[in-house]
Structure 1
């Protein structure tokens, strides 16, 4: 995997371009929340337009306040929106985490792995973080598998502010192939 920094906030890989979420992404966020069957946060389907706009607004504000956040992930070349991935640290959360979500037709393509590797490398190289982690629910077998593919090791279990106990994986710096 080769990570290219267009600037400190735009990442490209062989197949993807990752840019901080912006207001123009609202149509893509609405499409995702209209069709996704995946549990995102405490949500599974059925978000109103106002709720989706609020999620996007929080993602944009996160970037402005913290200097990192969720990227909109697009295929390089045609610019098709495939999902979101990035580093999030809600104010009430115990630590930052790598997070990702994909449009249903983008799942199983390796995009989550590719985007995650780029973001992990960015966190270590550009942000200078000493550690990157991800948190996941017990039943999210796809996320556990991705964490392991990324070289993650189970660090601890934590009860989060929403009352859910999650596994916390430490994710190592990625090595270019």
Structure 2
């Protein structure tokens, strides 16, 4: 089973508006619409995420501030808290599991196509972190401004609107390049 955690910005396409819950009409009282997830709403690991038509999308495996890490049958995917709506003990989401998995796979394919020697990679602050010196199926080697090289897991590089990005700063990459290699 392929597991991947994607950088947040590459999942902008799944950061859809919260799903409106569809409640069955009650004869004695009108249906009440679900409220969007509030920043302080209690969402914890183990909460089930469902498509608004009822099919299961995945399960929250952890919460990182306003980001929910949702495990589908294939991937761990960061989802903004604002993209879900609490409803009857679950969280409703606009995409089905298949749609979410397909979005992750497309983003991975687009990222992989962009990862090639000479391509610039931006750091967390938007500055150029380095250029790709080499890449294989599991790692990417960046040539830094100092001339040093650092090897990162391929999943540490994502594709954003401005091109390839990493969540690390240039200073963090320089520190990693200066650290002695693990034996």
In our comparison, the structure showing a higher alpha carbon Rg is 2
Q: What interval of TM-score do these two structures reach, taking the shorter chain for normalisation?
A: under 0.3
Q: TM-score when scaled to structure 2?
A: 0.25
Give 1 or 2: higher helix fraction: 1
Q: TM-score when scaled to structure 1?
A: 0.26
